[in-house]
Amino acid sequence: MDQEEDEGEDKRDKNGFYGNASETNGHASNREERESNGFLFKEKIKDGYASENTGNQKSETTSQNITSSTISAVKSPPSLEKFLLYAVGLGVILLYFFFCEVWDEWPAGERIYNRDQFMFFALLMFLVAGVFTVRTCPDKLINRDQTEEWKGWMQVMFVWYHYFRAAETYNLVRFYIACYVWMTGFGNFSFFWVRKDFSLWRMMKMMFRLNFLVILVVMVTDNSYMLYYICAMHTYWFLTVYLFMFTFRSWNENPRWMAIKFVVYLICNAIIFDTPLLVYIFRPLWFILSYEGSLHEWQFRAGLDHYACFVGMLCAYNYPYYERWMNYLDKKHIDRRDKFLSVSIKGFIIGVLLLLLVVWYREFMMKEKYAYNAIHPYISWFPILTYIILRNMFPALRTRYLYFFTFLGKITLETYISQLHIYLQSNAKDLIVYIPGYPLMNFALATAIYLFISYWLFEITTVFSSYLFPQSMKTVGVHIGVGFVVCSLAACLALILKEASVF
């Protein structure tokens, strides 16, 4: 399987990178928190880095600027009535998952690839999005709307990679997944760097966001957790970023000590994934990460992108310098010579990057998939950085986004999980046929059902997160205890019904 999650609650502000860093890869916070504090974070961080001094002074200034804002308001949990209503909705959706996956009542359709059809749909989608859904956003580098847009169009392309069996796009799909892992490092590093919130509550909220839905689906469909390997990957990379930032966290304010931490992280990553130790390191987690009696799936999937997260962390750490450089290039130059120099620098950068991208594509992307997989972990960073630089090169580009893809980018975790059960079947080997004999009409209906259910799963997860995880850890403990009892009883009932051959 070659697909992606991603993930995120639609509870974010529109004021740039640092104000919403905790959700760059879909980790949830709350709308009130974003609206009341997002702009303040961004402006304070920006001011903190505005000084020409670097080193310790930069970190100290940043810390002083955000200290008063690290504890922020949190959205009030929904009422019990609303929670129960959404719980019923979740039950209905999971019942439909069971109907499609276990009872297997829908006819199976063969996936047939037609390059002309595939490219027509892709071109039409981008054309419609570009003509009808362009919206504006604040002039911030790598802003929230932009990253959601990025996730959205990538998600469409590799879900269609499965639906249409577009095997020739395999190497591109590998690149898309590397982008998501990059966002995991970029977003989570940014959150911990700015907020300095390493609390158990924050950890539980993020882990809930990544694994709540997939655990329920695993229970309902009796599948392996590793079938949804993206959830496992993002959980692992999130935990590595958390440990990186939490360990010797006083060092986070000192660039020299941070350099040491980055080197250690890089070495540890290389030892884990580039040596024979990989076979043994994850063996204690066999009961979670095994798939069909082996750890090969985990070792393969995680190993493919084991440097993408590290690159994302480096980009987040050096974001202020990138912002300062772009501010210089974009400022209104009074002197015509300075303006000409600025335009020339941008033109030179664009020309070099495009030339190198063409060379990269011809040298690597055209390789057979097994040959490409062998080098992918070490070369995927270049097109990622190229895309970011080109996408943010001009204010006219970064202040506009395609809402169609941004909307899809918000529900990538749900579309990733749902595609295996209500869009495709038999582990994505066959199509679900609602209208036999009419493949395009079936595609339209299946897509509508798939997106409708995915959106409501996103909304349900948001409500569940708010209700189950208020700021009172005592209440959280009660909710966890009750949830454990309910899930245990449900599992026991399912086991009894299965043994009785009821289904």
Please tell me the predicted confidence (pLDDT) of residue 74: 56
pLDDT of residue 426 exceeding 60, the answer is yes
Strand-strand pairing, 430-432 and 108-109: antiparallel
Greater confidence, 431 or 10? 431
Q: Is residue 65 part of a domain?
A: yes
pLDDT of residue 34 exceeding 70, the answer is no
Q: Is residue 411 part of a domain?
A: yes
Q: Is residue 307 part of a domain?
A: yes
Are residues 199 and 185 part of one domain? yes
The confidence band for 496, taking pLDDT boundaries of 50, 70 and 90, is confident
| 36 contact partners, CB below 8 Å, separation of at least 6 | 72, 73
The confidence band for 226, taking pLDDT boundaries of 50, 70 and 90, is very high
Per residue in 45-95, pLDDT (tens digit) is 333 333 333 344 444 333 333 333 333 345 678 899 999 999 999 999 999
Please, which contacts does 63-66 make with residues 24 or more away whose CB atoms are closer than 8 Å? 63/253, 66/41, 66/194, 66/195, 66/196
Cα Rg, the chain, nearest whole Å: 23
pLDDT of residue 111 exceeding 50, the answer is yes
Please tell me the predicted confidence (pLDDT) of residue 502: 66
pLDDT of residue 499 exceeding 90, the answer is no
Report the alpha-carbon distance of residue 253 to residue 264 in Å, rounded: 17
Please tell me the predicted confidence (pLDDT) of residue 270: 96
Provide the 3-class DSSP secondary structure of residue 136.
Answer: strand
**Sheet of 430-432: strands edge to edge?**
108-109, 430-432, 424-425
Greater confidence, 30 or 309? 309
pLDDT of residue 16 exceeding 50, the answer is no
pLDDT of residue 457 exceeding 90, the answer is yes
Are residues 50 and 31 part of one domain? yes
Are residues 494 and 427 part of one domain? no
C-alpha neighbours within 13 Å on the C-beta side of residue 188: 32
Please tell me the predicted confidence (pLDDT) of residue 333: 67
Are residues 174 and 108 part of one domain? yes
pLDDT of residue 402 exceeding 90, the answer is yes
Q: Is residue 361 part of a domain?
A: no
Measured CA to CA in angstroms, residue 276 lies from 265, 292, 299, 372 at distances of: 18, 21, 11, 21
Are residues 485 and 466 part of one domain? no
Tokens encoding 77: 């949990």
Helix H or strand E segment including 290 = none
* Intra-chain end-to-end CA distance of the chain, in Å: 27
Please tell me the predicted confidence (pLDDT) of residue 498: 76
Q: Is residue 122 part of a domain?
A: yes
pLDDT of residue 26 exceeding 70, the answer is no
Are residues 159 and 59 part of one domain? yes
Greater confidence, 222 or 63? 222
Q: Is residue 209 part of a domain?
A: yes
Helix H or strand E segment including 291 = none
Are residues 142 and 219 part of one domain? yes
Domain span at residue 136 reads 18-316+397-471
The confidence band for 493, taking pLDDT boundaries of 50, 70 and 90, is confident
Mean of pLDDT over the chain: 85
Residue that has been written with the tokens 């609650």 in this structure: 9
Q: Is residue 368 part of a domain?
A: no
Are residues 162 and 107 part of one domain? yes
Are residues 178 and 96 part of one domain? yes
Report the alpha-carbon distance of residue 62 to residue 350 in Å, rounded: 32
Per residue in 243-296, pLDDT (tens digit) is 999 999 999 999 999 999 999 999 999 999 999 999 899 999 999 999 988 999
DSSP 438: -
Please tell me the predicted confidence (pLDDT) of residue 337: 81
Please tell me the predicted confidence (pLDDT) of residue 17: 40
Which string of DSSP letters, residue by residue, matches 201-219? HHHHHHHHHHHHHHHHHHH
> In this structure, are residues 305 and 380 in contact, taking their beta carbons and an 8 Å threshold?
yes
CA 375, 377, 382, 384: dihedral to nearest 10 degrees? Answer: 130
Min mean pLDDT across 7-11, 14-18, 344-348 is at: 7-11
Q: Is residue 390 part of a domain?
A: no
Give the rounded percent of residues in the chain with a pLDDT score beyond 70.
Answer: 84
Please tell me the predicted confidence (pLDDT) of residue 95: 93
Are residues 483 and 467 part of one domain? no
How many structural domains does the chain have? Answer: 2
Greater confidence, 7 or 412? 412
Are residues 499 and 426 part of one domain? no
Per residue in 171-209, pLDDT (tens digit) is 999 999 999 999 999 999 999 999 999 999 999 999 999
Please tell me the predicted confidence (pLDDT) of residue 120: 96
Are residues 501 and 401 part of one domain? no
